[in-house]
Amino acid sequence: YEDEARIGSKTNPFIIEFTSPSQPVAQLGTETFMTLADAVEAATEGNNEITLLRNAEGKGIVIDKNITIDFNTFTYTFVEEGVGDTPTKSNGFQIKKDNYVTLKNGTLNVAEGSKDDFYILIQNYSNLTVENMKLDGTNLDMWSTTDGDSYVLSNNSGKVNVIGTTKIIANKDGDLAFALDACYNPAYTAPVVTLGENVTVDGKVELTG
């Protein structure tokens, strides 16, 4: 630094761009993580409560452990690539059976530019609690108008409690778009889904099996 010195000229200035460092997305205990997926991966039985620290986006995530994710009023947006059983990898969250999982206090959705990659926001086989969440399936578009279905919250097993002021919103464009389902598969114990009195389900509900 030189006092009163000029860097560059009026016609050819020297430009300095100031950028803030990337901020962490999630916190687990005292540790922070740059992605929600990394926080889920790091969670253990004795340290399994994750807090989202800001609005964030990322690829689909498989959850196969007991875990709580507090979205802390923020929004998590799925982009680019879903998860699921090969060859169909088009879920936002895929939550495996026999786990106890809580999702609360925020919003889940899919980016508009990624709508062709997702047809299920949450595919659930676990004992799941959804509390004070907005599950926005507006951009679940993969097969909703052709030869398949789209689902915001698809339940294939477990005890599912949807409580608080949760809102479940289906894609309005597809005749085969569902806000919620309870689907019996003989390979699993049939799901039991309970909706609290202040829950809003905006879209079709499918009960099968």
Inform me whether the pLDDT recorded for 138 exceeds 60. yes
Q: Tell me what the mean pLDDT of segment 49-59 comes to.
A: 97
Element holding 181 (H helix, E strand): strand 177-183
Q: C-alpha angle 153/66/54, rounded to 5°?
A: 70
Question: pLDDT averaged over the chain?
Answer: 91
CB within 8 A of 38, min separation 6: which ones? 26
- Residue spans of alpha helices (H) in the chain: 36-42
pLDDT for the residue 110: 96
pLDDT for the residue 147: 52
pLDDT band (50, 70, 90) for residue 112: very high
* 18-53 as b/e: b if 16+ CB within 10 A: eeeeeebbbbbeeeebebbbbbbeebeeeebebbbb
* Range name among 27-36, 60-69, 171-180 with the lowest pLDDT average: 171-180
pLDDT band (50, 70, 90) for residue 146: low
pLDDT band (50, 70, 90) for residue 2: low
CA distance 203 to 3: 66
Inform me whether the pLDDT recorded for 207 exceeds 90. yes
Inform me whether the pLDDT recorded for 26 exceeds 80. yes
Q: Tell me what the mean pLDDT of segment 26-53 comes to.
A: 97
Q: Is 139 exposed, middle or buried (0-12, 13-18, 19+ CB in 10 A)?
A: buried
Residue 204 token pair:
């079709």
pLDDT for the residue 11: 81
CB 118 within 8 A of CB 95: no
pLDDT for the residue 15: 75
Sign of the CA dihedral running 179, 171, 151, 153 = negative
More confident residue, 184 or 17: 184
Q: Tell me what the mean pLDDT of segment 119-133 comes to.
A: 97
pLDDT for the residue 135: 98
Specify which of 74-88, 108-122, 152-166 reaches the highest per-range mean pLDDT.
152-166
Q: Tell me what the mean pLDDT of segment 34-46 comes to.
A: 96
Inform me whether the pLDDT recorded for 105 exceeds 90. yes
